[in-house]
Amino acid sequence: MIKKRMQITDDGSHTLFSSKVGENYHSSFGAIQESEHIFIGAGLATIIDRNRNQANILEIGTGTGLNILLAYLWAEKNSIAIKYTGYEPFPISRNEVLLLNYPEQLAVDKKQFLLIHDSIGNHVSLSDEFSLLINEASIQSSKLTPDLYDVVFFDAFSPESQPEMWITEIFRKIYFSLKKNGVLTTYSCKGIVKRSLMEAGFVIEKLPGPPGKREFLRAWKR
């Protein structure tokens, strides 16, 4: 059953199909290249532009853990200290984690990837400079600390599948949790998403997307 949910995307990396919402966790055109383009390149990398050597990251929908693994590798390469907080109300199973090929694709110790998923409900350290906590809870039911985060990865399932996630109320909660000049990136460029972000106070911009996607959104707290 698990193998039937597993799919190989065009860049050779895996994605999973969610039977709960009826769509994949990642782009079929390339899971790793999509995450690197949208969340790392357009989101986390702005830390360097802002002359920061540390960052607090919030992720909504940690899913397979791919964004976390990529953030960890990027932070190690760039000597950036990271405190990472995720919200994932429906974690994938241990057996699914073991089948995902991200460690092989990214040439990283599989123990590091397993440690990411061991952080659900527990603080763990992937290195001396990278700490992680994944909350097994929805963002709707959670209280966020104001002015805490530098970067937000908004990686919920699509507005069609999870319309309750892409509303002004959610984005306003995230907006107040961001520091001034903090940034949010998301793969969706739907009109309803743009309107909700702007109503929440964000300044938005459309950026060229990765293969298979024309555009995506980056939003700033100015």
| pLDDT confidence of residue 3 | 55
| pLDDT confidence of residue 5 | 85
| pLDDT confidence of residue 202 | 98
| pLDDT confidence of residue 119 | 87
SS3 for the chain, per residue? CHHHHEEECCCCCEEEEECCCCEECCCCCCHHHHHHHHHHHHHHCHHHHCCCCEEEEEEECCCCCHHHHHHHHHHHHHCCEEEEEEECCCCCCHHHHHHCCHHHHHCCCHHHHHHHHHCECCCEEEECCEEEEEECCCCCCCCCCCCCEEEEEECCCCCCCCHHHCCHHHHHHHHHHEEEEEEEEECCCCHHHHHHHHHHCCEEEEEECCCCCCEEEEEECC
| pLDDT confidence of residue 2 | 56
Give the domains, in start order, of the chain with CATH numbers.
30-220 (3.40.50.150)
Per-residue pLDDT tens, the chain, 222 aa: give them: 455 589 999 999 999 999 889 999 999 999 999 999 999 999 999 998 877 899 999 999 999 999 999 999 999 999 999 999 999 999 999 999 999 999 999 999 999 999 999 889 999 999 999 999 999 999 999 999 999 999 999 999 999 999 999 999 999 999 999 999 999 999 999 999 999 999 999 999 999 999 999 999 999 999
Q: With beta carbons less than 8 A apart as the criterion, state whether 159 and 190 touch.
A: yes
| pLDDT confidence of residue 10 | 97
- CA distances from residue 221 to 60, 140, 163 in whole angstroms, order as listed: 17, 20, 23
Phi, psi of 7 (to 5 degrees): -135, 145
Tell me the β-bridge partners of 207. Answer: 216
Taking the whole predicted model, whether its pTM rises above 0.75 is answered as yes
| pLDDT confidence of residue 166 | 98
| pLDDT confidence of residue 77 | 96
